[in-house]
């Protein structure tokens, strides 16, 4: 489960578009911050995506990605031109394809590597979708199949693209919009695949081409309901609207950390928050495993990433596509303290043992440190590549050091866990050889 947000320049504090996303996936499915440089290829080369090969293009953009360690594609990312994309799992009455094809995450990365604007990214994704389809298992441990929606933005415009099998529909959105694990475009779209209405008629999804509601007609009621995307969309939209005209990076960070009105987000076996915490599955088996915020200034977008699970226990650090710091080793599904993701899990999983008391230890310091990082990054907007890279590395090192201090403090507080929640995390920990 995931949540993706966009705010246009006319509603933000600095008059720059702001994008944000939480990626929710199985708790041990570590995400990796991956920087891939731009590259020119010889003609006739092929590209291996997660499951299938497709022809490579002549030139690809530099991209900064947050991707699950086992797949080629990414949950979210940004390219050198300031195009940013986040995707969402959506569930339809039309069964998702289980045969290997392009994952939605592959389509996301391909859009970033091959497009210079939002509209180009929409074109790239829909052309590849129509030619190769989407499909295949979407998780590393277990089985999950779904269609995808995308929020695609650049400094100038934003589009929502929603897909069902090889069909698609898209709409330009402004000034704020959020997507989650549900189809949202209903009876308003600007572009769509050829034959969409006939496809819906043939499948018995509609009786009249003049009475189409894409969300209602396509959505699978059971999966869409239990994914709880509607309530999360409403919540994230409400929080952005509260701050309209003053939306900032800090606003987006606070939204990505939101647990609604619940001071303790751990125990429930159903439901979902924007900042998602796993419990006993299968309904609540997902965890926010990566978070990203992008300030889309033309020519020099600044990105803020946790590189870790649970943004409420992590720190957003600045990075730039043209000045990537050392992003560490590739993690796996097993504990490895030498990776950014797993090093933070020591703190995250200790906090979960008594969330209200243990999170309170560091929340104030976290917000102050993050504000310092953001202010420093914005002051370096015109800095050299070397200056910005050095600043990113300093922020990552400082964050790691401070998190180690928080870990010492939280472990001094008593453990207060409910039985089923503790049972779930004992299982996650054993699978990951977590120590």
| Beta-strand relationship, 191-192 and 167-172 | antiparallel
Q: How confident is the model at residue 267 (pLDDT cuts 50, 70, 90)?
A: low
User: Among candidates 104, 5, 76, which has minimal Cα distance to 289?
Assistant: 76
* Cβ contact 333:69 at 8 Å: yes
Q: How many CB atoms lie within 10 A of CB 374?
A: 22
Lowest mean pLDDT across 91-105, 137-151, 164-178, 263-277: 263-277
Q: Residue 74: pLDDT above 70?
A: yes
Predicted confidence (pLDDT) per residue in 116-139, tens digit = 999 999 999 999 999 999 999 999
Mean pLDDT score across all residues of the chain: 95
Q: Which residues of 120-153 are buried (b: 16+ CB within 10 A; e: fewer)?
A: bbbebbbebbeebbbbbebbbeeeebbbbbbbbb
Positions marked active-site: 2
**Does residue 281 carry a pLDDT above 80?**
no
- pLDDT tier for residue 220 given thresholds of 50, 70 and 90: very high
Omega before residue 282 within 30° of 0, cis:
yes
Predicted TM-score of the model (pTM) = 0.97
Q: Which CATH class is domain 2-326?
A: alpha beta
Kindly state the average pLDDT of the residues 225-229.
83
Contact 285, 423 (CB under 8 A): no
pLDDT at residue 266, rounded to an integer: 67
> CB-based burial of residue 93 (10 Å sphere; 0-12 exposed, 13-18 middle, 19+ buried)?
middle
Task: Give 35-64 pLDDT, tens digit per residue.
Answer: 999 999 998 899 999 999 999 999 999 999
Closest to 111 measured CA to CA, from 146, 143, 84 = 84
Q: What are the pLDDT digits (tens) for 252-265?
A: 999 999 998 887 88
- What residues does 169 pair with on adjacent strands? 162, 192
Domain definitions of the chain by residue range: 2-326
Structure confidence at residue 283 (pLDDT): 75
Confidence of residue 224 (pLDDT cuts 50, 70, 90): confident
């Amino acid at each position: 489960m995931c949540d993706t947000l966009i705010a246009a320049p006319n509603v933000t504090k600095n008059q720059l578009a702001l994008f944000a996303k939480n990626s929710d996936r199985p708790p041990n499915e570590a995400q990796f911050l991956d920087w891939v440089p731009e590259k020119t290829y010889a003609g006739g080369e092929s590209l291996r995506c997660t499951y299938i090969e497709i022809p490579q293009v002549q030139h690809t953009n530099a991209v900064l990605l947050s991707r699950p360690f086992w797949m080629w594609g990414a949950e979210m990312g940004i390219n050198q031109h300031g195009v940013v994309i986040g995707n969402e799992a959506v569930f339809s009455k039309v069964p998702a394809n289980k045969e290997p094809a392009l994952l939605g995450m592959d389509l996301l990365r391909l859009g970033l590597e091959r497009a210079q604007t939002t509209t180009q990214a929409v074109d790239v994704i829909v052309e590849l979708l129509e030619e190769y389809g989407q499909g295949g298992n979407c998780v590393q441990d277990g089985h999950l199949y779904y269609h995808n929606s995308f929020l695609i933005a650049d400094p100038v415009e934003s589009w929502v693209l929603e897909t069902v099998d090889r069909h698609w529909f898209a709409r330009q959105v402004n000034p704020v919009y959020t997507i989650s694990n549900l189809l949202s475009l209903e009876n308003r779209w600007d572009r769509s695949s050829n034959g969409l209405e006939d496809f819906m008629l043939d499948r018995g999804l509609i009786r009249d081409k003049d009475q189409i509601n894409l969300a209602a007609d396509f959505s699978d009621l059971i999966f869409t309901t239990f994914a709880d995307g509607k309530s999360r969309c409403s919540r994230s939209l409400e929080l952005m609207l509260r701050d309209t005209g003053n939306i900032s990076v800090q606003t987006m960070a606070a939204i990505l950390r939101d647990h609604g009105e619940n001071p303790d987000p751990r125990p429930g076996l159903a439901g979902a928050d924007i900042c998602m915490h796993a419990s006993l599955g299968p309904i609540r088996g997902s965890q926010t495993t990566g978070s990203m915020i992008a300030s889309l200034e033309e020519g020099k977008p600044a990105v803020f990433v946790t590189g870790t699970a649970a943004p409420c226990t992590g720190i957003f650090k600045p990075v730039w596509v043209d000045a990537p710091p050392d992003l560490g080793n590739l993690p796996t599904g097993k504990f490895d303290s030498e990776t950014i993701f797993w090093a933070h899990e020591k703190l995250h999983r200790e906090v979960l043992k008594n969330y209200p008391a243990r999170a309170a230890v560091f929340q104030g310091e976290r917000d102050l440190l993050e504000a310092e990082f953001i202010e420093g990054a914005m002051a370096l907007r015109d800095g050299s590549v070397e200056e910005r890279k050095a600043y990113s590395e300093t922020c990552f090192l400082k964050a790691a050091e401070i998190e180690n201090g928080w870990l010492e403090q939280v472990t001094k507080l008593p453990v207060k866990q409910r039985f089923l929640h503790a049972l779930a995390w004992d299982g996650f920990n054993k699978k990951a050889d977590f120590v």
